[in-house]
Structure 1
């Protein structure tokens, strides 16, 4: 069963379509905006790995060498890698947050934030 990937030309979101046969004609639509203006992407081959192997790779300290927790762009790349390794879709909210971080924004750039879980000096 082939899985085809498409990129929406309207919103830029990647969409995957599962077909039952290679010969099956598909008319994909964007999962985010519903547009039919999609471009087919060249997909990578899937490599089946055990969950233990994926967790070992994530826990490897050498993979954290270039991670700068003060740089939103490197944090966004790391978060995307974590999401791919875990093999689960974190949802549109997560994707939008990571896109914003890669663009140089993020929670720290919002003036009206809640100060995080620990709060701030204004709490007293």
Structure 2
């Protein structure tokens, strides 16, 4: 079933609605947060259904993974590519870490500068620490 993304002009929050093609345009859409009808449709990210196997095939060459622990720029590029293959929006913290890696900052320096991210990663909120990415 297709999903449609909207932004409420009253509460300024984004939300997503799932409805059939037949329902779209015929069924009224209300903000899921404040029930307002003062909303606009957003152009969402295009998602292509892929199996997990086909997404991970792009990373099957172990030569691409060699030396990542010594090259923060390559690690950042690989992490950005992996997030693109997942087809999901990543939290802003992920993007900040990847941006820093792509600028050449070491994972250790990032953990030192952003200790709250290290705590979130250790507790599993973001899927593991830097060591898990390598």
* Structure having the larger proportion of residues in helix: 2
Which category describes the TM-score, using the shorter chain as reference length? Answer: 0.3 to 0.5
